[in-house]
Structure 1
Amino acid sequence: MRTPPAEVAVTAGLVAGLLRDQHPDLAGLPLVPCSHGWDNVVLRLGDDLAVRLPRRGSAAVLAANEQRWLGTVAARVGFPVPAPVRLGRPGRGYPWPWSVVPWFEGRVAASLPSAERGRLAGPLAAFTARLHVPAPGDAPANPVRGVPLASRDARVRERLTGGRVPRADELLRLWERLSSAPAREGPPVWIHGDLHPANVLAPADGAPGLAAVLDFGDLTSGDPATDLAVAWMMFDAPGRAEFRAERERLSPVDPATWDRARAWAVSFGSLLAASTNEDPLLAAVGAHTVDQVLGPDRP
Structure 2
Amino acid sequence: MSAGQMHAGQFPVDEDLVRRLVAGRFPRWAGPAVERFASGGTVNAMYRLGDDMAVRLPLVKGGAEDLAMEREWLPRLAPLLPTAIPEVLGSGEPAEGYPWPWSVYRWRAGENPQEGALSEPVLLAKDLAAFVAAMRSITLPGAPAAHRGGPLASLDAETRAAIEELRAIPQEGVDCDAVTAVWDDALRTPDWDGPPVWLHADLMPGNLLVAGGRLTSVIDFGCMGVGDPACDLFPAWNLLPPDARKVFRETLDVDDATWTRGRGRTLSQALIALPYYRKTNPAMARNARHVIGAVLGGD
What TM-score results when the alignment is normalised by the length of structure 1? 0.88
| 2:199 maps to which of 185, 191, 202 | 191
Identity %: 35
Q: Which moved more, 1:123-132 or 1:15-24?
A: 15-24
How far apart are residue 96 of structure 1 and its match?
Answer: 1.5
How far does the alpha carbon of each residue in 1:29-74 deviate from its partner, in whole angstroms, 9 at most, with x for none? Answer: 2221223742112110111110111122121111111111122222
Sort the Cα spacing of 1:184 and 1:262 in 2 relative to 1 into closer, same or farther, 3 A: same
Query: What one-letter code is carried by the residue in structure 2 that aligns with 1:242?
Result: V
CA distance in 2, matches of 1:63, 1:172: 35
The equivalent residue for 2:243 is 238
- Matched position secondary structure for 1:132: helix
* Residue 280 in structure 1 maps to residue 288 in structure 2: no
* Residue 227 in structure 1 maps to residue 229 in structure 2: no
Q: Which moved more, 1:84-93 or 1:31-40?
A: 31-40
How far apart are residue 221 of structure 1 and its match?
Answer: 1.5
| 2:20 maps to which of 9, 17, 22 | 17
The equivalent residue for 1:171 is 179
CA distance in 1, matches of 2:11, 2:290: 34
| 2:129 maps to which of 107, 125, 129 | 125
CA distance in 1, matches of 2:130, 2:202: 17
CA distance in 1, matches of 2:183, 2:163: 10
Query: What one-letter code is carried by the residue in structure 1 that aligns with 2:78?
Result: A
CA distance in 2, matches of 1:195, 1:62: 15
The equivalent residue for 1:158 is 161
Sort the Cα spacing of 1:94 and 1:173 in 2 relative to 1 into closer, same or farther, 3 A: same
The equivalent residue for 1:211 is 216
CA distance in 2, matches of 1:112, 1:232: 11
CA distance in 2, matches of 1:52, 1:75: 22
How far apart are residue 12 of structure 1 and its match?
Answer: 2.4
Segments of 5+ residues of structure 2 without an aligned counterpart are none
The answer on whether the counterparts of 1:66 and 1:83 sit within 8 Å (CA) in structure 2 is no
The answer on whether the counterparts of 2:204 and 2:238 sit within 8 Å (CA) in structure 1 is yes
* 1:93-104 paired onto structure 2 within 5 Å: 93-104=97-108
Sort the Cα spacing of 1:266 and 1:65 in 2 relative to 1 into closer, same or farther, 3 A: same
* Residue 84 in structure 1 maps to residue 88 in structure 2: yes
The answer on whether the counterparts of 1:135 and 1:188 sit within 8 Å (CA) in structure 2 is no
- Matched position secondary structure for 1:151: helix
Sort the Cα spacing of 1:293 and 1:58 in 2 relative to 1 into closer, same or farther, 3 A: same
Q: Which moved more, 1:101-110 or 1:237-246?
A: 101-110
Query: What one-letter code is carried by the residue in structure 2 that aligns with 1:99?
Result: S
Q: Which moved more, 1:4-13 or 1:263-272?
A: 4-13
Q: Which moved more, 1:225-234 or 1:107-116?
A: 107-116
The answer on whether the counterparts of 1:135 and 1:221 sit within 8 Å (CA) in structure 2 is no
Q: Which moved more, 1:189-198 or 1:27-36?
A: 27-36
How far apart are residue 183 of structure 1 and its match?
Answer: 1.0
How far does the alpha carbon of each residue in 1:216-263 deviate from its partner, in whole angstroms, 9 at most, with x for none? Answer: 111121112011122111111111012112223xxxx33211111111
- Matched position secondary structure for 2:114: helix
RMSD of aligned alpha carbons: 2.2
Count of paired positions: 289
Sort the Cα spacing of 1:2 and 1:263 in 2 relative to 1 into closer, same or farther, 3 A: farther
How far apart are residue 6 of structure 1 and its match?
Answer: 5.7
The answer on whether the counterparts of 2:145 and 2:226 sit within 8 Å (CA) in structure 1 is yes
* Residue 139 in structure 1 maps to residue 140 in structure 2: no
How far apart are residue 89 of structure 1 and its match?
Answer: 1.8
How far apart are residue 208 of structure 1 and its match?
Answer: 4.6
Sort the Cα spacing of 1:284 and 1:9 in 2 relative to 1 into closer, same or farther, 3 A: closer
Q: Which moved more, 1:109-118 or 1:75-84?
A: 109-118
| 1:67 maps to which of 67, 71, 77 | 71
What TM-score results when the alignment is normalised by the length of structure 2? 0.88
Segments of 5+ residues of structure 1 without an aligned counterpart are none
Query: What one-letter code is carried by the residue in structure 1 that aligns with 2:51?
Result: D
CA distance in 2, matches of 1:128, 1:242: 13
Sort the Cα spacing of 1:116 and 1:170 in 2 relative to 1 into closer, same or farther, 3 A: farther
